[in-house]
Structure 1
Amino acid sequence: MEQQVKSYLALLEKEIARHNYGRQPASLYEPIRYLMGLGGKRLRPMLTLLSYSLYKSDVKSILPYAAAVEVFHNFTLMHDDIMDKAPLRRGHATVHEKWNTNTAILSGDVMLIKAYEMFMGLEPAVLKTVLRAFNQCAAEVCEGQQWDMEFETSPTVTEAAYIQMIRLKTAVLLGFGLELGAILADAPEQDRKALRAFGTSIGIGFQLKDDLLDAYADPKKFGKQVGGDIIANKKTFLLIKAQEQAKGKQKKELQAWLEATRFSKKEKVTAVKAIYDDLSIPTLTEKKINSFFTKGFNQLEKLSVAAAAKDTLRGYTQALIERQS
């Protein structure tokens, strides 16, 4: 499994590096090459290749289409970073910081166009199917981002609303990546649906795990400030459940920290985590995470391929689930 994943990752990096995206003006295209060159897990295109490999072995033939998924993902990151006023991406300056906001907007726009262009090598009938699924996914990602921004000014957010937001903003693109591999392999319709559902469920689980790690990860492994969501009053699953369950003194204390404008970051993180611990929020979150992972893996049982064929996809996903950073 590990060797296959390494091999696919090398193919993806070579494919991504092959694309120039455009030449002039250099200030429009250099930011794209910069962001695409920053690396990352390449999770979404990897899922496309692993999904395709369930049915066919010539994964090299679909590399441009898997790379298109990564270009679209990075387009969303470039624009998200502007909206979040984020200074860093993967440990390097974000595009709007390194260049400027207007350039980041336009470069992101071109990335979206290039993602569509990269699909144009498909046969017309397949292209129509791919674009129909891609268009739905792309619109949903934008819907999710809008909900996320609206949640910033909402006094409270329900668990159901939050799950729906992360489904749209994060999870549906994993689902599309897997469905794309199945479409390109001419897999049965029921397999396409099952793979999309698998990706969507594990995508929700991954985001919930990120929520938990942000508060409870080992700082030495996490690679960024632990408790950043708490400091920023970000409405994560943990905070939403704490607001639902806190009573009396705990509720007043939690609200006081949410309303505080001047505070010690370390003190706030410690105090809010103490409330989470008293309410068993970490255990509750783990239970919710596992429910989505279980739901996702149950979808794999519906696939019309031999059990052994699913081992690499299952193993790759399981390794991501078990990460601690």
Structure 2
Amino acid sequence: MHSFKELQEIVQKEIDGLEFATPPEGLFEPMKYILGIGGKRLRPILVLLSANLFKEDLSKVCLPAIGIEVFHNFTLLHDDVMDNAPIRRNKPTVHEHWNSNVAILSGDAMSIKAYQYIVSCEDRHLRDVLTVFNQTALEVCEGQQFDMEFEERKDVKVEEYLEMIRLKTAVLLGGSLKMGAVMGDADSKDSDLLYHFGVNLGMAFQLQDDLLDVFGEEAVFGKKIGGDILSNKKTFLLIKAFETATGETKEELNSWIELENFNPEEKIEKVKAIYEKLNVRDFSQQRIDEYFSLCLEYLDKVNVPAEKKKELYTLVKRLVNRSV
């Protein structure tokens, strides 16, 4: 069994070795740029960890795993255009570094490259791998559409939000694990268990991001705290606050959401105080804990020795306690 760190090194070496040598350079340079500015590489590592539960030789799994990372970065590239985001991983986004047309076209090419890498899996796995990937890719798009629609709505419910993050974020973790299991020759039961493990892990991961954006320590979190508050982003915290608030508290929250000219630090402080008053931090942490518990239940049921699942258990523990 490979360790998480070993797989991280394998993934980075594969990414560093990708060739985008054909012209026009203007199409491929943004791909190299976004892949070169880092990231957790969690999704391709999950593909490899999952496959490694069932077989040792990962040589035929590495490139399809990289395909998942290329696909993930393609979605980030297009998301940044739609969100008009200026920064990604402390670097200018592709549309800022070049322009939106370049970002859209290079993103399109990245999605095709992702397919090229994914179909390099063994022929006997191709249909099952593509079935999982196609469903996952479509669901990611569905999640992004819901996210965009939520920006225009004031009546988003918690369950709607949870479904949106399931689609936009969590299914790609689940899909990565299931694809790895398929390529590792796991049976359908274990493949499905790993899928559900990944989805629940993804749900906890995203809800943690929401929480850390408000209550994390800036020096540890690595970015400005309160960005979601300043942009009125529909997160679990904001939606739960609206569902819970009444009377003057609801009026105050509404006033901060509708205010166009404000002091950023004051808005963060006031909205954060409302969240504390309404206990939405505790509501959020409770949901996070529930999802972490669920993902461990699914992992426990995967029919391989516990020792082989050690890296996945360690990953969950690390994410439970993360502060970034």
Is 1:65 aligned with 2:41? no
- Alpha-carbon deviation of 1:154? 0.4
**Conservation of the 8 A alpha-carbon contact between 2:68 and 2:118:** no
Q: Deviations over 1:276-301 (max 9, x none)?
A: 11111111100000101111110012
SS at match of 1:305: coil
144-153 or 117-126, which deviates more: 117-126
1:169-208 pair list within 5 angstroms: 169-208=168-207
Q: What residue number does 2:52 align with? A: 53
Question: Match for residue 118 of structure 2?
Answer: 119
Name the counterpart of 1:90: 89
- Shift, 1:61, TM fit: 3.2
The code of the aligned residue for 1:249 comes to E
Match of 1:320 in 2: 319
Task: Output the amino acid matched with 2:231.
Answer: A
Partner Cα separation in structure 2 for residue 37 and residue 60 of structure 1: 23
Match of 1:23 in 2: 22
1:128 paired to 2:124: no
Structure 1 residue 313: deviation in Å? 1.1
In the alignment, the residues of structure 2 paired with residue 127 and residue 60 of structure 1 have an alpha-carbon distance, to the nearest angstrom, of 16
| Aligned counterpart, 1:104 | 103
Give per-residue Cα distances to partners, 1:211-247, cap 9 Å, x unaligned.
Answer: 0000000011111110110111111000011000101
CA displacement, residues 246-269 of structure 1 (integer Å, 9 cap, x when unaligned): 011101101111110111111111
Asked whether the 8 Å contact 1:21–1:114 carries over to 2, the reply is no
Supply the distance in 2 between the matched residues of 1:133 and 1:124 (Cα, whole angstroms). Answer: 15
Structure 1 residue runs without a partner (length 5+) = none
Q: Which residue of 2 aligns with 1:302?
A: 301
Q: Distance in 1 between matches of 2:106 and 2:222?
A: 27
Match of 2:43 in 1: 44
Q: Quick one: distance in 1 between partners of 2:227 and 2:155?
A: 19
Paired residue secondary structure (2:213): helix
Q: Distance in 1 between matches of 2:38 and 2:268?
A: 30
Give the alignment of 1:131-170 within 5 angstroms: 131-170=130-169
* Correspondence list, 1:232-271, <5 A: 232-271=231-270
Contact (CA 8 Å) 1:35, 1:74: kept in 2 or not?
yes
Looking at structure 1, the residues matched to 209 and 55 of structure 2 have their Cα atoms a distance apart, in angstroms, of 33
Aligned equivalents of 1:203, 1:43: Cα separation in 2: 11
* Distance in structure 2 (CA, Å) of the matches to 1:195 and 1:206: 16
Cα offset for 1:22?
4.6
CA contact (8 A) 1:171 1:204 kept: yes
Task: Report how many aligned residue pairs link the two structures.
Answer: 324
Task: Summarize deviations over 1:287-323 as a string: whole Å, max 9, x none.
Answer: 0001011111100121110112111111023212311
AA at the equivalent of 2:114: A
**Counterpart residue type for residue 92 of structure 1:** K
Distance 1:107 1:225 in 2: 29
Using the aligned pairs only, state the percent identity: 48
Aligned to 1:277: 276
1:5 — aligned with what?
4
CA distance in structure 1 between the partners assigned to 2:286 and 2:238 by the alignment: 16
Would you say the 8 A contact 1:211–1:238 is kept in 2?
A: yes
Measured after TM superposition, the shift of residue 7 of structure 1 is 1.2
Residue of structure 2 in register with 1:212 after alignment: 211
Q: Is the contact between residue 20 and residue 33 of structure 1 (CA under 8 Å) also seen in structure 2?
A: no
Q: Which amino acid aligns with 1:19?
A: L
Any conservation in 1 of the 2:47–2:180 contact (CA below 8 Å)? yes
Worse-matched range after superposition: 18-27 or 144-153: 18-27
Supply the distance in 2 between the matched residues of 1:159 and 1:207 (Cα, whole angstroms): 14
Partner amino acid for 1:66?
Answer: A
- Look up the match of 1:225: 224
* Larger mean Cα displacement after TM superposition, 152-161 or 119-128: 119-128
Letter in 2 for 1:232: S
Displacement, 1:6?
1.5
Corresponding residue of 1:80: 79
For the residues of structure 2 that align with 1:321 and 1:153, how far apart are their CA atoms? 32
